[in-house]
Structures are given as C-alpha cells and as structure tokens.
C-alpha cells in the first residue's frame, strides 16, 4: 500500500473527510504517483508533470472542477485530496511536495 493511495493510485482515502474513498482520473493518479515517487522532496511543476507524462503546466491543472460539476462529490473529491496532500513549498513558488510520501520508511512504501 502506498500511504492513502491504492496500489495503482486510482483511489485515495483521506483520514479525515466526508468523501470516503475518492476515485481519481488517470491524469490525477499520474500526478499523485509522480509526487509519491519523489518521496516528499520538493520538485518543480515541470519535473512533476514530466514524470506524470502530462502536458499541463501545473499539477493543479488536472484537478480543476468544471463549472457544470461544481457541488458533485465525485468531481470535487480529487481536488479536496490534492489540497490535503500536496504542498506548494513556502517561499519557492512552483515547487511541490507530498509530505505523506516522506513519512513512510522504504519498508512500508
């Protein structure tokens, strides 16, 4: 198990939150998997997106909720997970990390 993620990163479960298991799109799963692979170390948006194999400029781009989907838990859940798990490194705009990936020792990961 990879922290709050399923083995394929297509599901995430937050310890606190009303959403229960949150289903992710392929692109969202790829962003989380890329961030996880950096083991909590800050990386640029370009590094994260390249590792994820995506063309978007920033990780948040694949989590945006379309206007027609506002208020729908299945659409907003991934954004809630992103905001809970991903940090923009203070004082260094454009650097992203996922601290929960560093919290696990290699034996647990």
- At 100 the three-state DSSP class reads helix
> Could you tell me the residue ranges of all domains in the chain?
11-103
**Class of domain 11-103 (CATH, top level):** mainly alpha
Dump pLDDT digits (tens) for 71-81. Answer: 888 889 999 99
Closest CA to 83 of 37, 28, 46: 28
Query: pLDDT under 50 in the chain at which residues?
Result: 105, 107-109
Cα 77 → chain centroid? 11
pTM above 0.85, yes or no: yes
* pLDDT at position 2: 84
* pLDDT at position 74: 87
């Amino acid at each position: 198990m990879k922290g709050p993620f399923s083995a394929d990163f297509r599901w995430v479960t937050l310890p606190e939150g009303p959403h229960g298991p949150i289903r992710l799109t392929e692109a969202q799963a790829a962003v989380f998997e890329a961030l996880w692979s950096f083991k909590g170390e800050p990386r640029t948006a370009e590094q994260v997106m390249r590792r994820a194999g995506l063309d978007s400029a920033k990780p948040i781009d694949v989590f945006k909720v379309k206007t027609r989907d506002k208020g729908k838990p299945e659409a907003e859940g991934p954004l809630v997970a992103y905001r809970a798990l991903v940090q923009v490194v203070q004082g260094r705009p454009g650097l992203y990390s996922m601290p929960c990936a560093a919290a696990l020792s290699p034996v647990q990961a």
